Amino acid sequence: MSGTATAGSPRRSILLVEDEVMIRMMVADMLEELGYIIAGEAGDIDEAIRLVQAIDFDLAILDVNVNGKVISPVAEAVQMRNRPFVFATGYGAQGLPEKFRDRPALEKPFQMETLARAIEDALKGIAA
């Protein structure tokens, strides 16, 4: 089964954190095309933390560097809610916060198929 929603299956919701507006819009479009619901979008760390605490979502996609700040506080907040997350980075695995180097990461720029696979793998981790 692919990562896309199918008839009769509940649509998963995604929290998207990305400071570059055009990239955020492009990823949101990809997610919607894959059948996911955008639960919330944030372009800065404070807004992202507020959303993590305030909204319901199944998975978060987190840009590693948001306006020059490392995403760690947001990743920690998502982890405290026991939700999976995937990093998006242009810096490779070495650009990930050290504490979270074992987490899945999408290398920017990424294709829709790669995004779908990363989400599916992250969600499998919670379904197991």
pTM of the model: 0.90
Q: What fold characterizes domain 13-127? A: Rossmann fold (3.40.50)
pLDDT tens profile 33-82: 999 999 999 999 999 999 999 999 999 999 999 999 999 999 999 999 99
The H-or-E segment that residue 72 falls in is helix 72-80
**What 3-state class would DSSP assign to 11?**
coil
The H-or-E segment that residue 92 falls in is none
pLDDT at 3 over 90: no
- Cβ contact 67:45 at 8 Å: yes
- Cβ contact 87:105 at 8 Å: yes
Most confident option among 47-51, 92-96, 123-127: 47-51
